Amino acid sequence: MPFYMRWPAGLPSGAKYANPVGHIDIFATAAGAARGDPQGPGH
């Protein structure tokens, strides 16, 4: 399955990585670290 990532300041456009990658959903952790609400504004 393809893995898409957008990070304009860290990855050049169209970059490809040939090795396997793993993914875990870290959105809630990242949002908490940034003192955001993982459920979005107003929750």
Q: What is the pLDDT of residue 2?
A: 66
Global confidence as pTM:
0.32
Instruction: Kindly report, residue by residue over 1-43, the tens digit of the pLDDT.
Output: 567 778 888 888 888 888 887 777 777 777 778 877 666 666 6
Nearest to 17 by CA among 28, 27, 30, 7: 7
Nearest to 17 by CA among 27, 33, 29, 3: 3
Cα 33 to Cα 27: distance, rounded to the nearest angstrom: 10
